[in-house]
Amino acid sequence: MNMRRFREAVAAGEFLITAEVAPPKGADPSGMLAHAELLRSRVHAINITDGSRAVMRMSALAATALLRQQGIEPICQFACRDRNRIALQADLLGAQALGLDNILALTGDPVKAGDSPEARAVFELESVRLLQLIQKLNSGLDIHEKSLPDGASDLFVGAAVDPQLKSWSGLERRFWRKVDAGAQFFQSQLICDFDRLDRFMEQIARPSGRPVLAGIFLLKSAKNAEFINRNVPGVQIPQTIIDRLAAAADPLAEGIAIAAEQVRWAQQLCQGVHLMAVRREDLIPAILDQAGIAPLQPSSDRQSSTLLMS
């Protein structure tokens, strides 16, 4: 089973498709695995959240290991909130040993956003320093530049970016710091302003040569959009979209139509999409169908067709 399909697709310049799935809130992974199974032929990788919104769930490391066991390529989110440098390095090396070599390096949401506001937050590193740490592990050094006697990692690491950030100069500076620290791909924050994405791609991202996946969220209703505006740090769904959902006879169908439109815009502007459909991951194939994106060719078929052609 090819578990380097995502990085191969990045290298080949394919239009990249990932989907976000949260680990279970409990010890039984069967629901998560069933959702992931529905997406197998539609995405290059499944991106597993790590303490998203500071809400307690199963560890991303365990959840991605389970996906990989099932033959589905994961991207493991790594947030800096809950682990100091010893624990981050330990888990990164463990991820590599388990074959979980796609990583998304994040700072992480503040604990006050979640279900344990009294928890102690660590944040010893933030996303750029986490990327720098991974760069060191990949070159056979630990965070203190001591050599790793049992070998370097080969982690394929990406970072988040919010093209709608108010400070353009802050956005540009932070994006380039992430590129310099080894980010191989970028996943955008949930995006609604595609003019802004266009400008970000033209003026900031394109010169870096790093692919950007637009973060596209299936809004299930106007209420869902309002929940996000209240509870997801850094996200603001515009009133025009909330009104469109509120006016729709079938808000879920309207949400699918909006997401499919956004996928089409992303095809014009950037190198991929990161699809989020919280608790309705089963609808991601419908979004891709409406956007005119066919299932992916299995990577083994692609290899054999290349062989036939040569």
Ligand X SMILES: NC(=O)C1=CN([C@@H]2O[C@H](COP(=O)(O)OP(=O)(O)OC[C@H]3O[C@@H](n4cnc5c(N)ncnc54)[C@H](O)[C@@H]3O)[C@@H](O)[C@H]2O)C=CC1
Ligand Y SMILES: Nc1nc(=O)c2c([nH]1)NC[C@@H]1CN(c3ccc(C(=O)N[C@@H](CCC(=O)O)C(=O)O)cc3)CN21
Rule CB under 6 A: which of 180-199 touch ligand X?
187, 189
Q: Is 14 in the site for ligand X (CB under 6 A)?
A: no
24-33 long-range contacts, Cβ below 8 Å, gap at least 24? 24/57, 24/58, 24/63, 25/55, 25/56, 25/57, 25/58, 26/58, 27/58, 29/58, 29/63, 29/66, 32/63, 32/66, 33/66, 33/67, 33/70
CB of 63 to ligand X, least distance (A): 15
Residue 25 interacting entry, from ligand X, ligand Y, none, C-beta within 5 to 8 Å by type: none
| Binding region for ligand Y (CB under 6 A) | 52-53, 109, 189-190, 215, 224, 227-228, 232-235, 276, 278-279
- Is the CB of residue 127 less than 8 Å from the CB of residue 103? no
Minimum Å gap between C-beta 299 and ligand X is 25
User: Does 273 interact with ligand X (rule: CB under 6 A)?
Assistant: no
> Is residue 172 close enough to count as binding ligand X by CB under 6 A?
no
Using CB under 6 A as the binding rule, whether residue 114 contacts ligand X is answered as no
Give the position of tokens 């990164």: 92
213 touches ligand X by CB under 6 A: no
- Contacted by 224, from ligand X, ligand Y, none: CB < 5 to 8 Å by type: ligand Y
Please identify, using beta-carbon distances, which residue of 109 and 254 lies nearer to ligand X: 109
Q: Which is nearer to ligand X, 131 or 245 (CB)?
A: 131
Among 215, 251, 255, 272, binds ligand X (CB under 6 A): 215
Q: How far does Cα 301 stand from its chain's mean position? A: 26
Mapping DSSP to helix (H, G, I), strand (E, B) and coil, where does residue 221 land?
Answer: coil
Cβ–Cβ < 8 Å for 136, 143? yes
Which of 47/153 has CB closer to ligand Y?
A: 47
**Strands 16-21 and 45-48: what pairing?**
parallel
Q: Does 225 bind ligand X (CB under 6 A)?
A: no
152 binding partner (options ligand Y, ligand X, none; Cβ < 5 to 8 Å by kind): none
Q: Is 141 helix (H, G, I), strand (E, B) or coil?
A: strand
Query: Is 160 a binder of ligand X (CB under 6 A)?
Result: yes
Can you tell me the distance from the alpha carbon of 221 to that of 214, in angstroms, rounded to the nearest whole number? 21
For the CB of residue 169, give the shortest distance to ligand X in the complex, in Å. Answer: 7
- 224 is a site residue for ligand X (CB under 6 A): no
Q: Give me 81's structure tokens.
A: 């909130």
Using an 8 Å Cβ cutoff, are 191 and 258 in contact?
Answer: no
DSSP one-letter code for 147: B
Site residues (vs ligand X, CB under 6 A): 106-107, 126-127, 159-162, 165, 167, 170, 173-174, 187, 189, 215, 234
